Copies of this chain bind each other. A is one copy, B any other.
Amino acid sequence: MLNRVRSAVAHLVSSGGAPPPRPKSPDLPDDTSAPPAAAAEAPKSPPARPGSASGSGASAKPGEARASFSRPTFLQLSPGGLRRADDHAGRAVQSPPDRGRRLPWNTGYAEVINAGKSRHNEDQACCEVVYVEGRRSGPGALRELSHGQGLCFHYWGLFDGHAGGGAAEMASRLLHRHIREQLKDLVEILQGPSPPPLCLPSTPESPGSCDPAHLVSPQSCWSSQKEVTHDGLVVGAIENAFQLMDEQMARERHGHHVEGGCCALVVVYLLGKVYVANAGDSRAIIVRNGEIIPMSREFTPETERQRLQLLGFLKPELLGSEFTHLEFPRRVQPKELGQRMLYRDQNMTGWAYKKIELEDLRFPLVCGEGKKARVMATIGVTRGLGDHNLKVCSSTLPIKPFLSCFPEVRVYDLTQYEHCPDDVLVLGTDGLWDVTSDREVAATVDRVLSAYEPNDPSRYTALAQALVLGARGTPRDRGWRLPNNKLGSGDDISVFVIPLGGPGSYS
């Protein structure tokens, strides 16, 4: 995510090379100690449990000042390992240890720090198995369904931070808890055979139950009602969890100094289906029998140009007097007043000429191409979490109104296809994809996995490492070079490889 917030980094980090003292991260109560009444509220920020095989995020204990940076706890890094992971010169590839408990599904993981562009690795990752208690509310008190009536989901998250690591770290510790919270009301509905009831009673003995006496069932309603699927409910739960995560960052940003923002790419496996939710420019693909199935698309100033321009057009006050919602192929210069220049407005995909007027001399809301495309000359991604403090450089104009925290969620039904041990879902931050095509990733999948026995549980981490090494390059001449002598990615790179079939899967 380096280079994706240009002016903002300069704005938020002092320019002398030495970063400002990193603010103390929030030390919120672990929700295991929270009173029952608080369990229904927004998830709090608990510290991660050091040594937990599947925990993520912070390694500090409650009450301790957090280390100046942290890596996912499933890496089980010693203090020395943590220092090596933070070394820009060595750029050692980090993976979970081969000994001990593996990540669920034998998931492979590897990461590497950037080549000196930010002080710390601003990517974060999380891999968890999350149990969702069904929620019932008795009169005046909340209580949970008896054990065994709940649901499990598997969860993987990659968080690519920018302008600071705080948002990515917070998201890696909490987003899956928001998803769990959203699913609590749906536990019984999702496990039942019927489509979701359109309407639930408000304060009955058993809200969320499918007791027909309490529910306005689809059959009793208008004939023109829409049928909502179970998938649609899970997608809605994930979407709302992203929004609630973002709102929590907004609430806590002052007290806890949540820095910057992050892209979020999240996978939820629930009841036979894989939900891939993406907000930002990370990417997920499935490689199945050598075939590539895209599971996400990137949200950038270019791909979201028309959404951004429409917002600027409808709410010109968001542009201040500094920006125009019109797009020009380059910055208009004062001497060109009165001439005619190519432009696009929010309704156009083509271009036309317009006479340049004074307002057109303002900076375009969206400008640049490819990795250099920017919103308000500042940020290169248009969806994600955080960024509540992000301002246009040398201005008080907030950028957040143009950013969306909502992911696009794609659903993949695992039961519809017989998967073999070489079929994988690959998640990567943009550091991977900037220098590696989908096709090259698929070729690496084939090359690496075929070198291991199908039931060797270490093959997926070996694949993740190969992908990270192939994108990072090796230190040659001046820079990290790829085999073709092009520069490798100088960005932080994080990769999950999730096997979709074979021994050890789904467990």
Contact = CB atoms under 8 A, between A and B. Distances in A.
A347 B239 contact: yes
Interface residues of A, number: 61
A339 B235 contact: no
B347 A243 contact: yes
Interface stretch (A18-26, A116-124, A195-203): A195-203
Given A331-B222, A342-B228, A347-B243, A199 B336 contact: yes
A235 B404 CA distance: 29
Contacts of A367: 224
A236 interface: yes
A355 B185 CA distance: 13
Given A228-B329, A329-B228, A368-B224, A350 B239 contact: yes
A406 B225 CA distance: 30
A331 B367 CA distance: 43
A315 to B, nearest CB: 6
A51 B336 CA distance: 49
Contacts of A314: 311, 314-315
Nearest to A189: B353
A245 interface: no
Contacts of A406: 347-348
Copy count, this protein chain: 2
Given A315-B314, A340-B199, A342-B196, A348 B224 contact: no
A475 to B, nearest CB: 29
A48 interface: no
A20 B201 CA distance: 49
A90 interface: no
Contacts of A196: 342, 351
Given A348-B406, A350-B234, A351-B196, A224 B372 contact: yes
B330 A224 contact: yes
Interface string A305-322: 000001100110000000
Contact of A201 (B199, B200, B315, B339): B339
B239 A329 contact: no
A404 B350 contact: no
Given A329-B226, A406-B347, A233 B355 contact: no
A330 B226 contact: yes
A400 interface: no
Interface string A206-245: 0100000000100001101111100111111111100100
A369 interface: yes
A70 interface: no
Contacts of A199: 336, 339-342, 356
A338 interface: yes
A21 to B, nearest CB: 35
A210 to B, nearest CB: 13
A344 B34 CA distance: 31
8 contacts: A199-B336, A199-B342, A200-B340, A200-B341, A201-B339, A237-B352, A239-B347, A239-B348
Interface of A: 182, 185, 196, 198-203, 207, 216, 221-222, 224-228, 231-240, 243, 310-311, 314-315, 328-331, 336, 338-342, 344, 347-353, 355-356, 367-369, 372, 404, 406, 408-409
